[in-house]
Amino acid sequence: MGCFCLKKVRNKSGYKDPTILASETPFTVNEVKALYDLFKRVSSSIIDDGLIHKEEFQHAVFRNSSKQNLFADRVFDLFDVKHNVVIEFGEFVRSLSVFHPNAPIADKIAFLLRLYDLRQTGYIEGEELKEMLLALLGESELVLSNDMVEMIVEKAMVEADSNGDGKIDEEEWREFFKNNPSVLKNMTLPYLKDLTSLAFPSFVLNNEAEIVGNK
């Protein structure tokens, strides 16, 4: 019976061996197994196929499966490493591992660069910062004036764009976080080291609002 059940689980679409995932991430084997329980709950919430669809992801993180939002789309896209419009278990664990307390700081910074690099050019422009800020405000239902939005974006660009060319490259991005380490604090989720009773992390919204300019 035990062997049959294990084989059945391994045949689930997108399933990866916990031992392999633990060797590739800061998670232990037991933590990966706990994440699989969470993954199963999310991936079966709308379509029970062992994969997390965008609607399931948005509902789990943002409590909304139908409202279109750039920020929600960007987070999903980063978790969907294979770009096949679903999140497999291995992608879920590897992407979530960047928020583990033991994950390298460089990985956290790189994740945020990809998040804000909407056009995938390798750098971030002021317009991209503005688009993400507006998406965050729309998701949080926080209302700011156009002048306030422009001020936040301008402040962020002044601080991060050290050579003044109107874009933030990878080196400037790293230097910005080196000079402002506290901005990264929400990129670490301490409870990922204690996965006894885990709900899907609704960390991202608070996370990015701070990074955009509310240090």
CATH of the domain at 180: 1.10.238.10
Least confident of 3-7, 8-12, 105-109, 178-182: 3-7
- C-alpha 150/C-alpha 121 separation (Å) is 22
DSSP helix/strand/coil, 67: coil
Instruction: Please state, rounded to an integer, the average pLDDT across all residues of the chain.
Output: 83
Q: For position 157, what pLDDT does the model report?
A: 94
Least confident of 40-49, 54-63, 132-141, 192-201: 192-201
User: Residues 80, 146: one domain?
Assistant: no
User: Residues 75, 135: one domain?
Assistant: no
**What percent of the chain is predicted at pLDDT more than 70?**
81
Q: Judge whether residue 183 has pLDDT over 50.
A: yes
Q: Judge whether residue 194 has pLDDT over 90.
A: no
pLDDT band at 185 (very low <50, low <70, confident <90, very high): confident
Residues present in the chain in total: 215
User: Residues 91, 116: one domain?
Assistant: no
User: Residues 81, 138: one domain?
Assistant: no
Q: Judge whether residue 207 has pLDDT over 60.
A: no
Average pLDDT over residues 190-213: 56
User: Residues 82, 117: one domain?
Assistant: no
Q: For the range 109-115, what are the long-range contacts, defined as Cβ-Cβ under 8 Å and sequence gap of 24 or more?
A: 109/173, 109/174, 109/177, 109/184, 111/78, 111/187, 112/173, 112/187, 112/211, 113/170, 113/173, 114/78, 115/74, 115/75, 115/78, 115/208
Range of the domain at 59: 16-98
Q: For position 135, what pLDDT does the model report?
A: 85
